[in-house]
């Protein structure tokens, strides 16, 4: 096993994405049709009112103007809703396409669970120099490895070769790393963890899309960086 005090230097920033569903589009269409029907009802009431008004007592001008303004406002609102629904559908489609870009790429995301398959990599971040105790446990909660390391302020990578303290080679699977630290005065130091792995698939039926990394699923806004192939 080894501790690398430097993080990958060649990285690409990432952005969040989302997707659309046919059920929401159908619901939007039904709501728009309902509003349109109501608007036609308003027009029918208006023309009927004009046809049956008393010529000796015509419709009050103020009320008539207020009704026209109300009908015009309803029509504008309907058109705005239609345009907004179109913009949302376009945005969701674009976000789904962006999510597909991550497939096959190595990314770093917030988390402590990593898939071990020959090796497993975690990224650690310490706000100051600290003496850290690193513990790795399996899916059953059993401690498979623990050790003490000196971490410098900033980012570092911890690569585990799958061997326990007694030299036992542990099988493939999902393992959890926890790190606690203390400074020179014995005060606790918070150490955050990220996992690094390859995005093997994207679930576009979910909203937002879910990236599969080492058997775990993550949303795109959890991605911290995309690491180039060959960087470690």
For the chain, what is the HEC assignment? Answer: CEEECCCCCCEECCCCCCCCCHHHHHHHHHHHHHHHHHHHHHHHHHHHHHHCCECCECCCHHHHHHHHHHHHHHHHHHHHHHHHHHHHHHHHHHHHHHHHCCCCCEEEEECCEEEECCCEEEEEEECCCEEEEEEEECCCCCEEEEEEEEECCEEEEEEECCECCCCCECCCEEEEEEEEEECCCCCEECCEEEEEEEEEEEECCCCCCEEEECCEEEEHHHEEEEECCCCC
How far is residue 226's CA from residue 12's CA, in Å, rounded to a whole number?
A: 5
Q: Are 230 and 219 spatial neighbours (Cβ–Cβ below 8 Å)?
A: no
Is pTM beyond 0.85 here?
A: no
pLDDT computed for residue 232 by the predictor: 45
pLDDT computed for residue 26 by the predictor: 53
pLDDT computed for residue 135 by the predictor: 95
Nearest to 11 by CA among 229, 201, 230, 225: 225
Weakly modelled stretches of the chain, pLDDT under 50: 1-24, 28, 32, 35-36, 231-232
pLDDT computed for residue 81 by the predictor: 81
pLDDT computed for residue 229 by the predictor: 61
pLDDT computed for residue 12 by the predictor: 33
pLDDT computed for residue 100 by the predictor: 82
Q: Which CATH number fits domain 2-11+105-227: 2.60.120.560, 1.10.3720.10, 2.60.40.4070, 3.10.150.10?
A: 2.60.40.4070
What are the distances in angstroms from CA 37 to CA 43, 45, 47?
Answer: 10, 12, 16
Residue boundaries of the structural domains of the chain:
2-11+105-227, 22-100
């Amino acid at each position: 096993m080894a501790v690398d005090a430097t993080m990958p230097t060649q990285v690409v920033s990432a952005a969040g994405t989302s997707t659309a569903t046919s059920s929401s589009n159908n619901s939007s269409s039904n709501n728009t049709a309902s509003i349109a029907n109501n608007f036609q009802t308003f027009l029918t009431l208006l023309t009927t009112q004009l046809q049956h008004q008393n010529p000796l007592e015509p419709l009050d001008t103020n009320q008539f103007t207020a009704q026209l303004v109300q009908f015009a406002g309803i029509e504008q609102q309907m058109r705005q809703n239609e345009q907004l629904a179109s913009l949302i559908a376009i945005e969701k489609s674009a976000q789904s396409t962006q999510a597909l870009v991550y497939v096959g790429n190595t990314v770093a995301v917030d988390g402590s669970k990593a898939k071990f398959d020959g090796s497993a990599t975690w990224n650690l971040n310490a706000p100051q120099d600290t003496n850290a105790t690193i513990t790795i446990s399996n899916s059953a909660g059993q401690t498979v490895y623990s050790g003490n390391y000196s971490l410098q302020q900033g980012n570092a990578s911890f690569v585990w070769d799958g061997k326990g303290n007694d030299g036992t080679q542990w099988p493939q699977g999902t393992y959890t790393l926890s790190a606690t630290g203390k400074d020179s005065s014995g005060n606790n130091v918070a150490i955050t963890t990220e996992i690094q792995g390859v995005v093997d698939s994207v679930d576009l039926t979910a909203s937002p899309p879910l990236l599969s990394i080492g058997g775990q699923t993550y949303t795109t806004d959890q991605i911290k960086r995309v690491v180039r192939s060959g960087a470690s």
